[in-house]
Amino acid sequence: MKVLIFGSGGREHALAWAIQKSERVTEVVCAPGNGGMAGIGRLVPVSLGDLDGLVQVALAEQPDLTVVGPELPLSLGLVDALQQRGFKVFGPTKAAAMLESSKSFAKRFLQRHQIPTANYAVCTTAEEVEKAIEFFHAPIVVKADGLAAGKGVVICQSRRAALETAHGLLSGKLLGSKEQQIVIEEFLTGDEVSFLCLTDGKHVAQLVPAQDHKRIGEGDTGPNTGGMGVYSTDSILEPEMTEWILHHIARPSVRGMAAEDTPFVGVLYIGLMMTARGPQVLEFNARFGDPETQAILMRLDSDLVEALEACVEGRLSDTEFRWKPGASACVIASSGGYPGSYQTGFEITGLEAAEEVPGVKVFHSGTSLNGGRVLTSGGRVLGVTAAAATLPDALKLAYTAMEKIHFEGMYFRHDIGHRALKKG
Ligand code: AMP
Ligand code: GLY
């Protein structure tokens, strides 16, 4: 079986690593891939925003299964385009991916299906913002409607700041392009949980839960990033709470999309805030999380290809998942300056020594190969990931491996897992 993976991040490296472990897989092709994925499969250069180029890669490669990693090609309709040409492809259609690509769509969908989420207003003009903001107390969350790579959400400490942010988004000053719509939202407090499910459009199979660390600074300070580290243990959610989330959030979401004739097939990533009034949906992603996937797949003990294929073929209810008990953790090494501007092209050393630490796997996020050397090529560079019997053990292994790795300007958080460790 030949599997084509679209994407170039740590998530896709982890997917490629898990996919090539399947006995049925004989060839993995990554487009465009990265320096780490080069050790698993052949790399084919392509731009992830070029729909025609992506389709051409599939036509040339004729894969038996295609997996689309990132949100951009999903939002452009890559799955629709490949399905029309008869390919078996894992991921939601453009219409279903709107759960991620339009926050106003997602909020209205949640409301239509009575799925718990923060109170909100959708605004298209400055006048609408001024009227709506009267109904909110600070802090107020202001969100760009469209994809913004983690930069489209601003938590504002006053109504005045919320107004300014809203104007900045609508006028294009904040993100560089004008937002047609924005979402204003009630601020929620609690622990965040990444609840990822595989779905074939009807059935739902939850993956093990994970907790991301979105802020750049230790102690969860500073600006938001794509995610600086993550851990997964079963104790993040009690079994009763998992059941509650499946019953009140995950299954109604999948049923709702099917009822609206836009069945969702793929990974539904439900970002939850565990508030005093119960779990509330913060956001949907229409894809695997990054770095959640690195930690989650380290714990998977059954065949990922079988599970992905079962989603595409509508037979997820027959699929068995096995998970390793214990814990996993992924710590991100980023370029100095990220999430602001940063330099790339620095040589990375110590990768082999890091992977010699038992239980450790280093997933590449932003790397490229140059001759025999591995160079930095992105903001998030590596995801040093470990699995062990307990979370403290997994973290210790990941940090031991991290200490062996060097590149100029390398930065990582030393406190991944701190919230779980505090709770004991
Ligand atoms: P989103 O892209 O909507 O998940 O937002 C990114 C991050 O902003 C989330 O992971 C939260 O940490 C934070 N956030 C988003 N919405 C809210 C909210 N209503 N209340 C508090 N924090 C939020
Ligand atoms: N780690 C958050 C995300 O993948 O969106």
pLDDT, tens digit, for every residue of 340-391? Answer: 999 999 999 999 999 999 999 999 999 999 988 999 999 999 999 999 999 9
112 occurs within a structural domain: no
106 occurs within a structural domain: no
Q: Which of 285, 294, 330 to mutate to test the pocket of ligand 2 (most atoms within 8 A of CB)?
A: 285
Question: Token pair 């096995």 is at which residue?
Answer: 322
Are both 125 and 13 inside the same structural domain? no
Whether the CB of 118 sits within 6 Å of ligand 1: yes
Are both 153 and 288 inside the same structural domain? no
Are both 263 and 159 inside the same structural domain? no
**What angle, 0 to 180 degrees and rounded to 10, lies between the N-to-C axes of helices 103-112 and 251-259?**
100
Distances, alpha carbon 407 to alpha carbons 33, 371, 376, in Å: 21, 17, 8
103 occurs within a structural domain: no
Given this model, what pLDDT does residue 264 score? 98
For ligand 1, the distance from its centroid to the CA atom of residue 80, given in whole angstroms, is 29
Q: Outline where 247-372 has alpha helix (H).
A: 251-259, 292-298, 304-312, 351-355
Whether the CB of 35 sits within 6 Å of ligand 1: no
Given this model, what pLDDT does residue 419 score? 80
- Which ligand minimizes its atom distance to the CA of 148? 1
382: nearest Cα among 199, 190, 229, 261: 229
Strands 27-32 and 211-212: what pairing?
unpaired
Sign of CA dihedral 304, 310, 316, 320: negative
Are both 82 and 144 inside the same structural domain? no
C-alpha 222: how far from chain center: 20
Question: Token pair 């090609």 is at which residue?
Answer: 73
| Domain termination site, one of 143, 165, 186 | 186
Are both 36 and 143 inside the same structural domain? no
| Domain termination site, one of 186, 202, 236 | 186
CATH number, residue 76: 3.40.50.20
Are both 409 and 364 inside the same structural domain? yes
Are both 177 and 48 inside the same structural domain? no
Q: Outline where 48-90 has alpha helix (H).
A: 51-61, 71-76, 78-84
Q: How many domains does the chain have?
A: 3
Are both 302 and 165 inside the same structural domain? no
Are both 297 and 336 inside the same structural domain? yes
Whether the CB of 156 sits within 6 Å of ligand 1: no
Q: What's the domain range around 20?
A: 2-91
87 occurs within a structural domain: yes
Are both 159 and 203 inside the same structural domain? no
Given this model, what pLDDT does residue 238 score? 94
Are both 213 and 352 inside the same structural domain? yes
Are both 160 and 284 inside the same structural domain? no
For ligand 2, the distance from its centroid to the CA atom of residue 129, given in whole angstroms, is 28
105 occurs within a structural domain: no
CATH number, residue 404: 3.30.470.20
Nearest CA to ligand 2 atom 5: 289
| Domain termination site, one of 137, 171, 186 | 186
10-residue averages of pLDDT along the chain (424 residues) = 98 98 97 96 97 98 98 97 98 98 96 97 92 93 86 90 91 81 95 97 97 94 92 95 98 98 98 97 97 98 97 92 96 96 97 97 96 95 98 98 98 93 68
